[in-house]
Amino acid sequence: MENLEFLTEEEKDAMSVNDLAIYLDLLKLIKSELEGIKEGE
C-alpha cells in the first residue's frame, strides 16, 4: 500500500470549513480504529 499522506498546510488553508470537517472526521475514524486495536493488545 502506498504511504498515506496528510493534506498540506496550503491545501487546508484553501479548503472550506465544511470540507475540513470531513477530513477531520476521517482522521478521527482511522485514529479510533487503530486505538481500538491497540487497546485490545
Partner 1 sequence: MNEEIKRTSGLQAKLEENGVNASLDELINFKQTVDNLFTKDTLTEEQRAVIATKMEKLISAYDKIAAISQRKISNQEKAARIEKELGTVPDDFIRQATKEIENVDEKMNSKIKGIKSKVKELFANATKSIGGFIDSHIAQKKEEAEQINKQETALIKNPEKKGALKRLFSILKENPADWKEVEQEDGTIKLINEEGEIRGIIETKDAPHWAAVEQSVLDAKRAFGFVNKIKTFVAQEKAGSTIPTQEEKAKNAEKKAKAEKSIGKINKNKKEIEETLANAEKGALEHAEQRGKQVKEGGRSIETIKGLLQSFKDAYMNTKDNAQIIGNTLRIWDAKDDSKKNAKKLDKLNEQKAKLEKQIKKAQNSKIKADTSLKEHTEAKAEAKQRIASRKEARRGADGMEH
Smallest gap, in angstroms, from Cβ of residue 7 to partner 1?
6
Mark 1-40 with x for binding to partner 1 (rule: CB under 8 A) and - for no binding.
xxxxxxx--xxxxxxxxxxxxxxxxxxxxxx-xxxxxx-x
**What is the sign, positive or negative, of the torsion defined by CA atoms of 37, 22, 24, 7?**
positive
Smallest gap, in angstroms, from Cβ of residue 3 to partner 1?
5
- Cell numbers describing residue 13: 488553508
- Residues at the contact surface with partner 1, assessed by CB under 8 A: 1-7, 10-31, 33-38, 40-41
